[in-house]
Amino acid sequence: MVFAHLVHSQLEPLLEFLCSLPGPTGKPALEFVMAEWMSRQHLFYGQYEGKVSSVALCKLLQYGINTDDKRLQDIRVKGEEIFNMDEGIRTRSKSAKNPERWTNIPLLVKILKLIINELSNAMEANASRQTTADWSQDDLNDMWEDQDEDEDEDEGLAGQFLSDILSTNKYGKSEL
């Protein structure tokens, strides 16, 4: 979240700083930070965190495209998991023998995919809220009335054997 805030206010100095620092793998820290951020974007919960991160991703994408920045274009991150269709059900023992495999995609492509995913989630949430708001109070009252009627019908059948219920019709007259 700290890096998302820094992207908003200090994008170019942040990129310079992270490129000058070595990361844990010996490559620039920018590559490490971007890989970790992309893999954890789905963990940002809450409107504030999601919006801050999403807007920061938009700014990074815009900057990377407008400036043709090679530092961002050269970074590759995890894309999609590769599944082996011949493998069948993946158990813990199979997972230990064959670890997960992922595609590698350019950072800017991953950012675009994450932005599209966030937009899709926001559109679904808005559609759900709109559907709920469209239900009038009368519709909700009608649903409760229907449920009450069903419960009243069920109470009249309490304590009867199924064979007795089946042998009589709706009006209590025996059909047999």
Look at residue 166 and tell me if it is in a domain. no
* Residue 161 counted as domain residue: no
27 Cβ contact list (under 8 Å, min separation 6): none
- Asked if pLDDT for residue 66 goes beyond 90, the answer is yes
Distance CA 29, CA 128 (A): 40
Rounded Cα gap, residues 83 and 136, in angstroms? 46
153 part of a folded domain: no
For residue 71, give the nearest of 12, 114, 4, 1 by alpha carbon: 12
Q: Is residue 100 part of a domain?
A: yes
CB 167 within 8 A of CB 175: yes
The answer as to whether 149 is a domain residue is: no
State the number of CA atoms in the 13 A half-sphere of 92 facing the CB. Answer: 0
| pLDDT of res. 62 | 94
> What pLDDT does 78 receive?
87
The residue with tokens 């009252």 is 141
Q: Is residue 160 part of a domain?
A: no
The C-alpha atoms of residue 34 and residue 44 are separated, in whole angstroms, by 15
% of the chain beyond a pLDDT of 70: 76
Residue pLDDT, tens place only, 5-41: 888 899 999 999 999 999 898 899 999 999 999 988 8
C-alpha–C-alpha distance, residues 67 and 105, integer Å: 20
Paired strand residues for 82: 101
Confidence at residue 157, expressed as pLDDT on a 0 to 100 scale: 60
- Assess if residue 1 is contained within a domain: yes
How many domains does the chain contain in total?
1
Q: Is residue 150 part of a domain?
A: no
**Does residue 160 have a pLDDT over 90?**
no
What is the secondary structure of 10-66 as a DSSP string?
Answer: HHHHHHHHHHHSB-TTSSBHHHHHHHHHHHHGGG--SHHHHHHHHHHHHHHHHHHHH
Average pLDDT, the chain: 80
Q: What's the half-sphere exposure (Cβ side, CA atoms, 13 Å) at 71?
A: 20
Asked whether residue 92 carries a pLDDT value surpassing 70, the answer given is: yes
Q: The tokens 């990074």 sit on which residue? A: 60
| Mean pLDDT, range 141-155, rounded to an integer | 61
Comparing 10 with 155, the larger pLDDT belongs to 10
For residue 101, what are the domain limits?
1-125
